[in-house]
Amino acid sequence: MSNRAKYILGGVAVAILGWWLLPNWLATLIIVAVVAAPVVGYFMLDDSQRRRISRLRNKGQLRR
């Protein structure tokens, strides 16, 4: 099993456990925050930084 699959499986397990232990609105808020943080970080980059990330991704030097 790859490291990426382990991280995804662990994240799903933590989300299910959190959903079970915490109130539903709090668990939903935490999951939305975890998903939104990288998106907001990407949108805070300059255009030149986004182009650089795109170039690295196209060359295969940056894993998705």
**How many C-beta atoms lie closer than 10 Å to residue 23's C-beta?**
9
Model pTM greater than 0.75?
no
- Give the per-residue pLDDT at 63: 63
pLDDT digits (tens, 9 = 90+) for 14-59: 888 888 888 988 888 888 888 899 899 999 999 999 999 888 888 8
| In the chain, domain spans | 3-59
Query: Is pLDDT larger for residue 1 or for residue 52?
Result: 52
Q: Which pLDDT belongs to residue 40?
A: 93
